[in-house]
Chains A and B, each alone.
Chain A
Amino acid sequence: MDNKALTTLDKIKDSEIYFSFIKSPTAIVSSILLAIIFFCSFFVEFITPYNPFDPSSLSLMDAFTPPSWTSEGKVEFLLGTDGQGRDMLSTILYGSRISLIVGFSAILFSLILGVGLGLTAGFFGGKYEMIVMRLTDVQLTVPSILMALLVDGIARGIISRELHDEMAIYVLIFAIGISEWPQFARVSRAATLVEKNKDYVSASTIIGVSNFIVMFKHILPNIMRPVLVIGTIGLALAIIAEATLSFLGVGIPPTTPSLGTLIRLGNDFLFSGEWWITFFPAIFLVVLAFSINLLGDWMRDTLNPKLKK
């Protein structure tokens, strides 16, 4: 092959990761599923004619319409409607957008916090390292969902009620993010300990590169592999944590429901035969979390040289 003609696309095609990707059916299926979910969630306005968050557009008489393929179903409501006449499909898509935003932001928050602390701790060592690592130990003894509940409880106490619904999403991102950071801190510290004794680090230090540049320009790219792997798996956990908190009623308010809120609201109708109100959001959540997990697993196998056959 002529080297000059190599485009970025060719580079990607030629890479190890791409090769591993097209050889893995699970990775392909899960990423296709994720692509569909992401697309539908973020372009939901163009996909469904309904806006479930606008109460004046709803008609109570449409409430409890079963899915369209059942005998009482209506064509315009593919997955049926909930107890207020909201179209389930559009409610789920709007809801999954909120779930995804919360999941991504929370994991980004804990990634920045965890990697920042772990990297500096591994690099500088000494008392600072000890304090940071003991802090992660302490936090790892508290289950993350309890931690998130605690943060939410405190936030409820200090934020006025009028602001609370608007702030709920930020509180949730912070609550989940703060409970996940120790994972990132531990992994990045361990990786940094390995990297910092390598020659390229010594070389840059000797020629007088500042610690900051060494850490974030030279070491950081080399420890990103394990961090990305736990980040992907952590994303699924963060989405489930959001759903759990909303299911417990401390997360996203019911006026703008996320997947967890939808499952909670539908739970009341489980016995009465209106199964679709809780079933579809639940299935959607399972598919979403499962796809992300599968992708994370594949990424772990690919990025970890030790697991190579």
Chain B
Amino acid sequence: MKYGYFIKILLAFFLAFAPTQAFAKTIKWSMQGDSLTLDPHAQNEGPTTQVSRQVYEALVTRGLDMKIGPQLATEWRTQGPNTWIFKLREDVKFSDGTPFTSEDVVFSILRAKQRTSDFKEYISTVSGVKAVNDYTVEITTSKPNPILLNQLSNIFIMSKKWSEKNFAVMAQNWDAGQETFSATNAMGTGPFKITLREPNTKTVFKRNKKWWGTMKDDKVTEIHLLPIKNAATRVAALLSGEIDVVTDAPVQDLARIKNSPAHKVESTAQMRTIFLGMDQGADKLRTGNTGDNPFKKKAVRQALYQAIDIEAIKKKVMRGLSEPAGIITFPGVNGYTEELDKRLPYDVAAAKKLLADAGYPNGFEVELRCPNDRYVNDEAICTAVVGMLGKIGVKVNLFAQTKSKHFKELKDNQGDFYMLGWGVPTLDSHYVFHYLYESGASWNRVNFSNSDVDAAIRVMEGEVNLDKRNAAIAKAWKIVKDDISYLPLHHQVISWAAKKDVNVPIRPNNEPLFRFASFD
């Protein structure tokens, strides 16, 4: 009798859980770093957006083909040059059950415009946003904005009610190290909700049953994000079956993964350019030894440029998986041309001469700041650069650290010489100029300032005549390229590795969309 009950209970458990267990499948996702914060407006950084993208949605979004399409807005039209009307999807609920309305859109856009938001530059031309009715939103811009849709595709929509309830009305002040509810919790309209968040260890995404869309494969019910910093450990975890998909497979291990019969590798040119910045604004280098700032002289910047053997980096550090770059933007972005992307030749003798002519025959000393868990082989690239610059007498001290500290200290203006990578989510050159070249821009840490470039940026923002606008872009590129304000290195090529039966479509912005994931 005793055993009879036991068996019945067991059977009941089995019947209750067996079907879902057989049906449910988890994708274990790994990359070297984690999202910096779950607050969707606090940090404009790749992995952070990758995580937010699974949970939050925007008015419009890029699909697998990278073209802008509807998401929370079903249709839109312009009314005059400065006004846009968005019709919202009516069957959307947040994952906590609250219906989604235009109030949430107004709230979120205003939230993303706050001082503490890292997305305010995206929508700096948005001057007003108001709810016309429950499902219609009107956005006004201060001047005609031809790339508003591109920009809005990166502004995630939060629930007004949820944010008010949880004291998250302001975007988290990430730069100041603020901790908020929204930084460790996420609640959006997207296909997944986050049920467990342990930063840098594990994040669990569960299917949002209230999501309005349809999954490509209903078997995908859970995503676990398990960041593994060490490249070899990450590959070992993939090969042993502990991890299903790695979105930054180390270049040195691709051959090994391809050899495994149970795994596959996909590579694509990524929308990201890696470069080095040199502070030209400071009067004296913080880490220098000459008492002045050699980077103020163009000849010095050019010497450093020509001393870098980018082909050697491509061959040895990147194992062929990179495209040497001449400007900080890549094919496919409006304004890119092959002519601009040509590099100055690698020439150590010329570099030495330039340095001597500029008044530094014995070189100088400077610290190079690098992230060690952000870009493909970032620290190895920096180490290689240290050796190459050593050959022309510039003694570079490498300081590599984790990306959260690297970015924070960079934003605090602490770097003389640093590595950064730049993607262009809007696929328009304006984004690059607006963040990296405009006087006083948030990521313009080289302190570049040129009134002609600033004027060209104004044209890019307000000019609806495409020919005139493109002429402004071309002119601005020419100025900054000739000035050598940054040292471009290469366009990154990314590789994703996964189990053979797990399909997560690779995207050139390195953002997985798990709603399109499927099992064979």
A6 CB within 8 Å of chain B: no
A272 touches B256 (CB 8 A): yes
A84 touches B252 (CB 8 A): no
Contact with B along A271-289 (1 / 0, CB 8 A): 1111000000000000000
Q: From residue A1, how far is it (CB to closest CB) to chain B in Å?
A: 63
B46 CB within 8 Å of chain A: no
> Number of contacting residues on A, CB 8 A?
24
Q: Which residues of B contact A64 (CB under 8 A)?
A: 316
B383 touches A84 (CB 8 A): yes
In the bound assembly, the distance between CA atoms of A255 and B386 in angstroms comes to 11
A268 CB within 8 Å of chain B: yes
Interface hit among B34-42, B231-239, B418-426:
B231-239
A60 touches B309 (CB 8 A): yes
In the bound assembly, the distance between CA atoms of A272 and B239 in angstroms comes to 13
Interface residues of B in 379-399 (CB under 8 A from A): 380, 383-384, 386-388, 390-391, 393, 396, 398-399
Interface residues of A in 74-128 (CB under 8 A from B): 83-85
B324 CB within 8 Å of chain A: no
Offer 17 A-B interface pairs, CB within 8 angstroms, sorted by A. Answer: A56-B387, A56-B390, A57-B390, A60-B387, A60-B388, A61-B309, A61-B312, A61-B315, A61-B316, A63-B317, A83-B380, A84-B384, A84-B387, A85-B387, A271-B232, A271-B235, A271-B239
Query: Which of A56, A83, A267 contacts B317 (CB under 8 A)?
Result: A83
Contact with B along A239-282 (1 / 0, CB 8 A): 00000000000000011000000000001111111100000000
Interface residues of A in 180-237 (CB under 8 A from B): none
- Contacts A60-B313, A61-B312, A63-B316 given; does A55 touch B387 at CB 8 Å: yes
A54 touches B316 (CB 8 A): no
Identify the 7 closest CB pairs spanning chains A and B, nearest first.
A56-B390, A272-B252, A55-B387, A60-B312, A63-B316, A271-B256, A271-B253
B230 touches A60 (CB 8 A): no
A167 CB within 8 Å of chain B: no
Q: Which residues of A contact B231 (CB under 8 A)?
A: 268
B255 CB within 8 Å of chain A: yes
A33 CB within 8 Å of chain B: no
Q: From residue B458, how far is it (CB to closest CB) to chain A in Å?
A: 40
B508 CB within 8 Å of chain A: no
In the bound assembly, the distance between CA atoms of A56 and B398 in angstroms comes to 13
A60 touches B255 (CB 8 A): no
A168 CB within 8 Å of chain B: no
Q: Interface range on chain B: under 10, 10 to 19, 20 to 34, or 35 or more?
A: 20 to 34
Interface centre among B252, B380, B398, B399 (most CB of A within 10 A): B252
B250 CB within 8 Å of chain A: yes
Q: From residue A54, how far is it (CB to closest CB) to chain B in Å?
A: 7
A58 CB within 8 Å of chain B: yes
B230 touches A268 (CB 8 A): yes
Considering the complex, give the chain A residue whose CB is closest to the CB of B400: A254
Seen from chain A, the residues whose Cβ lies within 8 Å of a Cβ on chain B are 54-61, 63-64, 83-85, 161, 254-255, 267-274
Q: Which residues of B contact A54 (CB under 8 A)?
A: 390
In the bound assembly, the distance between CA atoms of A214 and B386 in angstroms comes to 58
Q: From residue B441, how far is it (CB to closest CB) to chain A in Å?
A: 27
A56 touches B391 (CB 8 A): yes
Q: Which residues of A contact B396 (CB under 8 A)?
A: 55
In the bound assembly, the distance between CA atoms of A70 and B102 in angstroms comes to 68
In the bound assembly, the distance between CA atoms of A59 and B255 in angstroms comes to 25
Considering the complex, give the chain B residue whose CB is closest to the CB of A161: B399
In the bound assembly, the distance between CA atoms of A85 and B390 in angstroms comes to 14
Q: From residue B392, how far is it (CB to closest CB) to chain A in Å?
A: 8
Query: Which of A63, A255, A272 contacts B255 (CB under 8 A)?
Result: A272
A273 touches B383 (CB 8 A): no
Interface residues of B in 390-416 (CB under 8 A from A): 390-391, 393, 396, 398-399
A55 touches B317 (CB 8 A): no
In the bound assembly, the distance between CA atoms of A85 and B387 in angstroms comes to 10
In the bound assembly, the distance between CA atoms of A273 and B383 in angstroms comes to 21
Contact with A along B298-328 (1 / 0, CB 8 A): 0000000000010011011100000000000
Taking A59-B387, A268-B250 as given, write out 20 further A-B residue pairs in contact, using a Cβ cutoff of 8 Å, ordered by the A residue number: A55-B386, A55-B390, A55-B396, A58-B387, A59-B312, A60-B312, A60-B384, A64-B316, A84-B387, A85-B316, A85-B387, A254-B383, A268-B230, A268-B252, A269-B252, A270-B232, A271-B252, A271-B253, A272-B250, A272-B255
Interface centre among B231, B236, B309, B396 (most CB of A within 10 A): B231
In the bound assembly, the distance between CA atoms of A268 and B253 in angstroms comes to 9
